[in-house]
Amino acid sequence: MTADDFAEQVREDNRTALSRLGSSKALYADTKGEMDAETVLRAAAVAERAAQETFAAWAESEDGEAAEAFRETAEEEREHYERVLSKLDADEVEVDEVPAIQSYLRGLDDTVERAGGLLGRTVAAGKSKDQLVGFFVGQADPQTSQLFRDLGGDLDGQLERAESLVEAVCADDEDRERALAAASGAIQAAYEEYTERLEGMGVNPKPVC
């Protein structure tokens, strides 16, 4: 299985979850129904900061190629957080409630699983960025929509980095299966949170709109 095949398998295994995470209801779930621009930006800032904290912690506990991949990703996520924060009238946004996908990732302590988790999170994050772009297009805010296009563009490099890391740390098919399971686990954690939040608000999470 090549690196490209791995990413495609992750998408195929999680097609339904990714489709729904890419729907307009995903932002509604992320903001718990408060769809004003400031709340959307705060939710985006929390997601970026939580990701930065996860990958920075991983970098500290790894070495070699894995440490470098996680460190570089953490630095990008820190930049993303700061760029989103610049759109808010705030010095800082605290992570009061860690997103489910980051809670899942923080439970991984194996390098192979972390590589898979990084890839899964990157695939899921692409869906989120698409929705953020669409939201701010709808708000007639081209500067902010462009910001999220730019952040989404960075995910291409993150995906390549994750693919390379999976290829480097997986010695055999068993390792690749563990990495696949971790990638799917990350996506499913995000999807379960999406489903639970919408159901808690009395919204059917299944139809894609």
pLDDT of residue 209: 43
Question: What is the distance between the alpha carbons of residues 54 and 43, in angstroms, rounded to a whole number?
Answer: 17
Residues 147, 83 contacting (CB under 8 angstroms): yes
Instruction: CATH number for 3-199: choose from 3.10.20.30, 3.50.50.60, 3.40.50.720, 1.20.910.10.
Output: 1.20.910.10
Question: What is the distance between the alpha carbons of residues 70 and 152, in angstroms, rounded to a whole number?
Answer: 18
Instruction: Quick: pLDDT tens for 39-79.
Output: 999 999 999 999 999 999 999 999 999 999 999 999 999 99
Please say if the pLDDT value at position 204 is more than 70. Answer: yes
Domain ranges of the chain: 3-199
- Please tell me the pTM assigned to this model: 0.94
Residues 148, 126 contacting (CB under 8 angstroms): no
pLDDT of residue 208: 47
Instruction: Quick: pLDDT tens for 135-144.
Output: 999 999 999 9
SS3 19: helix
Half-sphere exposure of 111 (CA within 13 A, CB side): 18
Please say if the pLDDT value at position 100 is more than 50. Answer: yes
